[in-house]
Homo-oligomer: A and B are copies of this chain.
C-alpha cells in the first residue's frame, strides 16, 4: 500500500485536498501544514501555492462546510411537510459533512469578536425557522427556544461525529440516534 510504483506528478485537485484536510483536521485539529500536505499526497510548497496560509486553508474549509450545509438544507426541503420530517431529512443529508462540521464547530470559537461569517448566520436562520415552524404547527414544544434547539442540533451532530470517530457508536446509527434523541428525547413513550 505504501507506494504504487508511480510517484508521478499529480495535478492539483482542490476538492480532494480540502476533503483530505477536513478528514485529518477532524481527527487532529492541530495538524501542521506539512501533515495536511502529506495527507493530501502533495508537497507543502504546492499546498502553500493554493492556500496562502493556514488561515486561508481553514477559511476555505469553512466555505466548504457552509456550502455542504446549504446543499443539505436544499435537499432536505425544510419547507415541505411536517417539521419533524424536515429535521430527520436534514440530519440525514448533513451526515456526510458531520466530521467537517464538528471540526469547524470547535474551531469557530476563535472567530468570536470579528463578526462571524455571514454564511453561518443564514444557515442558523433557516434551521431556527424550521424549529419555529414546528412550534407554530404544534409539533414541537414551545418551552425550548428555537435558538437552543438549533444549538443543540449542532452539539449533537458534533457529539455524534466524534463518537463515530472514537468507535463508541456505529456509523450506521448516526442519523437515527441524533434525530431520535433531538426529537423524542431519552424518555420512553407510553405507546398507544
Interface residues of A (CB under 8 A from B): 27-30, 84, 87, 106, 109-110, 112, 131, 134, 138-145, 147-149, 151-152, 154-156, 158-160, 162-163, 166, 168-169, 173, 177, 180-189
Q: Which residue from B28, B109, B156, B166 sits with its C-beta under 8 Å from A28? A: B109
With A182-B185, A185-B185 given, can you name 6 additional A-B contacts, CB distance below 8 Å?
A28-B110, A87-B186, A134-B186, A148-B163, A152-B181, A154-B159
Known contacts A143-B180, A152-B159, A169-B151, A187 near B106 by CB under 8 Å:
no
CB pair A166 B84 closer than 8 Å: no
Specify which of B29, B138, B151, B186 is in contact with A188 (CB 8 Å cutoff). B138
When the two chains form their complex, are residues A156 and B152 in contact, meaning their CB atoms are under 8 A apart?
A: yes
Residue of B nearest to A116 (CB): B166
Query: Nearest chain B CB to A179's CB is how many angstroms away?
Result: 10
